[in-house]
Amino acid sequence: LSRFGGGYGVGIVSLTAGFDLGGTKLLGVVADGAGTVVASARTPTGRTPDSVFSDLAGLLDTLTGTAGPVDAVGFGVAGLVDRDGVVRRAPNLVGWDGLPARSRLEDLVGLPVVVDNDANVAAHAELRFGAARGCSDVVMVTLGTGIGGAVIAGGAVYRGAQGLAAEFGHITVDVEGAQCACGAFGHWEAIASGSALGRLGRQWAARGEAPAVVARAGGDPEAVTGVHVGDAAQAGEPDAVAILDVFAGAVAVGLGGLVDALDPEVIVIGGGLAELGDVLVGPVTQALDTYVVGAQSRPLPPVVVAVLGERAGAIGAASVAAEMPALRGPAPSGRA
Ligand SMILES: [Zn+2]
């Protein structure tokens, strides 16, 4: 049989693997065509692309050892990924700019590989199996180390001319604002990502305004992270709830613009901050009114959290791989 396994050219894909590379971790799953996870594994994000590729190959061995062989691999990367699977720019990862990730991975694992933006694959998973199932027009925003974005238009992921669409995190919201991971100033990601929540928490802590949050950081105001703020807010601690109210306003600034531009039927929040649930979604929903044109004269789209959790990206990568044209049907005439 070919190196692509039994699925190639047959039109039946039983299992595929999906990986999601973020700023802090590489998460992998093996899933079936219904999005059911058969096996999953993770490791911290390697410091170089070479170490990530080697980690990914190791995880793939572990996963297929548990779940059995897969027909294809999907890989979601937190960065600009073009239609050829080249990572053009990845501000939150070191050494990935210009990397031909798809061809490197295909050589490494000997399987067909599809590489896409991490938010695109997460949105694909939520569309197929999660919070956006049955929807036609959706905005998805992933709030993590940075901000990822995806647009579903007419029931499919909208990728733009080169595959680089929906980089919402790098929309300028304040030309005199804080510096973004990409180097520019005033981008939405610089005020509304998980990293930005941590920075906001440290600012409050430095002013002595967040004692309960500082306590969670071992008493060191400079050690406060977004996780400390989020945990404290979920516990109902007033200083953390107040920080999250301010942060929710920053999230709503960007979402309001996206509603103005795209008129989605639902906004799905994914990424690490989605785990905050109502503690985040409540104040974001309240603040959204302020930033959408004609908000008093139209229904606003509900803001909901992704239901597939932190594995959405990996599940979506597996699903995108399963829908890869080469795996979907017989080879075009003339290829054999
Ligand atoms: Zn930026």
- Alpha-carbon distance of 318 to 89, in angstroms, equals 23
> Six-digit token pair at 191?
């005020």
Give the residue from 232, 233, 209 showing the smallest Cα distance to 283. 233
Residue-level pLDDT at 225? 96
- State in Å: Cα 148 to ligand 1 middle: 11
Distance 22 CA to ligand 1 centre (A): 16
Residue type for position 232: A
Q: How far is the CA of 303 from the centre of ligand 1 (A)?
A: 24
Q: What's the gap in Å between 143 CA and the centre of ligand 1?
A: 14
Q: From ligand 1's centre to the CA of 58, what distance in Å? A: 32
pTM of the model as a whole: 0.86
What is the rounded distance in angstroms from the CA atom of residue 204 to the CA atom of residue 237?
Answer: 14
pLDDT at position 3? 42
Distance 189 CA to ligand 1 centre (A): 6
Per residue of the chain (336 residues), give pLDDT as tens: 334 444 444 445 489 999 999 888 999 999 999 999 999 999 999 999 999 999 999 999 999 999 999 999 999 998 999 999 999 999 888 999 999 999 999 999 999 999 999 999 999 999 999 999 999 999 999 998 899 999 999 999 999 998 899 999 999 999 999 999 999 999 999 999 999 999 999 999 999 999 999 999 999 999 999 999 999 999 999 999 999 999 999 999 999 999 999 999 999 999 889 999 999 999 999 999 999 999 999 999 999 999 998 899 999 999 999 998 766 555 445 443
Which pLDDT value is given to residue 327? 65
Q: How far is the CA of 310 from the centre of ligand 1 (A)?
A: 23
> In angstroms, what is the span from residue 288 Cα to ligand 1's centroid?
22
- Determine the distance separating the centroid of ligand 1 and the alpha carbon of 187, expressed in angstroms: 5
pLDDT at 31: 97
Q: 70: CA distance to ligand 1 center in Å?
A: 36
How far apart are the CA of 17 and the centre of ligand 1, in A? 30
Distance 180 CA to ligand 1 centre (A): 5
Write b or e for each residue in 139-154: b if 16 or more Cβ atoms lie within 10 A of its Cβ, otherwise e: bbbbbbbbbbbbbbee
